Amino acid sequence: MSQEDQDKLAAEWEAELAKESDAAGDSGGTAEAAAPSATPPAGDDAQRQADEALAAQWAASMAQEEESPAHQSFGGAGAGMGGHASEAHFKDMTEMARQPADNKLKRELDFILDIPLDVSAELGRTRLLINELLQLGQGSVVELNKLAGEPLEVYVNGKLVARGEAVVINEKFGVRLTDIISPIERVKQLG
């Protein structure tokens, strides 16, 4: 706001305050008429009311300034500072988001999908002394920690990911998955 505009605004406020104090002296004042008290306001109350009227006028003036075309075109208060502003234009990206991913991204995902992983199924575990290990021979039986009928554990790269039951497919063993480990449990195993 230029100095000229500020001076004009100050003169308007001064004139308005003079009108209010004249009106207050003639008719008891608009603020006094609205107040329910029977006694006229003290000096401090009159000053407070004048300050409130000034603040209301200031707010009205600011609102009027904001609505003015000069302010909306960014030539108002900022023009004196030498800054130039223009309206921002953004490209509509919704069409691009709807288009399928390009082939490069697909190839990168295909590359990740082609990484080999070691998968193993475990019947059970046990601990042996070295002496017991050395005595093992053909026909020896090693007792495991799991009961018959308990599910096998399926590990991927050494991490438990599922449980299942043993099946035979074309004379080969397989595992029918009965329980997939939740992602939360998998994260706990990593720690």
- Please give the pLDDT value at position 83: 58
Lowest mean pLDDT among 24-28, 65-69, 104-108, 109-113: 24-28
Contacts of 85 (CB under 8 A, 6+ apart): 74, 78
Is there a contact between 119 and 156 (Cβ–Cβ < 8 Å)?
A: yes
Q: Which stretches does DSSP call E strand in the chain?
A: 119-122, 152-156, 159-169, 172-180
- Quote the CA–CA distance of 162 and 93 in Å, as a whole number: 41
State the chain's mean pLDDT as an integer.
77
- Please give the pLDDT value at position 118: 94
- Please give the pLDDT value at position 114: 82
Which of 90 and 36 is assigned the larger pLDDT?
90
pLDDT mean over 157-173: 92
pLDDT at 60 over 90: no
3-class DSSP assignment, residue 112: helix
pLDDT at 111 over 90: no
Which of 59 and 151 is assigned the larger pLDDT?
151
Domains of the chain: 3-81 (no CATH), 117-138+145-190 (2.30.330.10)
pTM attached to this predicted model:
0.42
CA-based torsion, 159, 160, 162, 163: positive or negative? positive
pLDDT tens digits, 79-104:
445 556 778 877 777 776 666 666 66
Name the pLDDT band for 5 (thresholds 50, 70, 90).
Answer: confident
* Exposed/middle/buried for residue 91 (C-beta within 10 Å: 0-12, 13-18, 19+): exposed
Which of 25 and 156 is assigned the larger pLDDT?
156
- Please give the pLDDT value at position 69: 56
